Amino acid sequence: MKLGKDFFNRDCLDIAPELVGKILVRKFENGEELRVRITETEIYRGEEDKACHASRGRTPRAEILYRESGLIYVYLCYGIHWLMNVITGEKEQPQGVLFRAGEGYNGPAKLTKALQIDKSFNGKMLVGNPEIWVEDDGLRPEIKTDKRVGIDYAGEEWINKQWRFIMS
DNA sequence: TTAGTGATATCC
DNA sequence: GATATCACTAAA
């Protein structure tokens, strides 16, 4: 079953753990389908979250975080890697969930590389999109939480949040 | 542990 | 306009 708009139109605190164990499906131009089980997600939530791109206000890059839930937010990291997020929650509420890893693809940039995601996907919908979507196959895995990765600059309060969800 | 890489934000 | 920074990876 494909996930609909209602799934994403909630708080990322609810969505991130539920996305773990779901299946990310990517249909290529040649008609081939690649299905990857999501094994790890992370939350980025609100302007007050120093690790969230919206923490510096509504910049052109972060603009998409304020928009409609279900949108794909793709962004270039360290000049090399594309990282993929999905927008969650109400409009004007900057929050999203990062796809941090999939089965066989440990690392957010490996995931986007395998799925051939780049900036052309930025701002596209993850719902009702013929190229990429998320499915629920009924699996409800055990999930553990941990601190987020790679955000040492954000300060202890935000580093220590258990906002990473891992399938175990 | 470090190099590689380039968009973004922030400072003139 | 210039510079510092960065939600990472691969190689060593």
What is the distance in angstroms measured between the alpha-carbon CA of A138 and the sugar C1' of B7?
A: 39
- pLDDT value at residue A33: 97
Nearest protein residue to the C1' atom of B4, measured from CA: A80
Q: Show the tokens assigned to A58.
A: 């509504």
Nearest protein residue to the C1' atom of C6, measured from CA: A78
Number of domains in chain A: 1
- pLDDT value at residue A155: 95
Residue A33: which domain range? 5-167
- pLDDT value at residue A158: 97
- pLDDT value at residue A64: 98
* Weakly modelled stretches of chain A, pLDDT under 70: none
Q: Spell out which residues of A between 52 and 111 contact strand B, using CB within 7 Å.
A: 53, 56, 59-62, 75-80
Q: What is the CATH number of the domain that holds A43?
A: 3.10.300.10
Q: Tell me the C-alpha to C-alpha distance, in Å, between residue A92 and each of A41, A58, A68, A89, A129.
A: 22, 10, 8, 9, 23
Nearest nucleotide relative to A98: CA against C1': C7
- pLDDT value at residue A112: 98
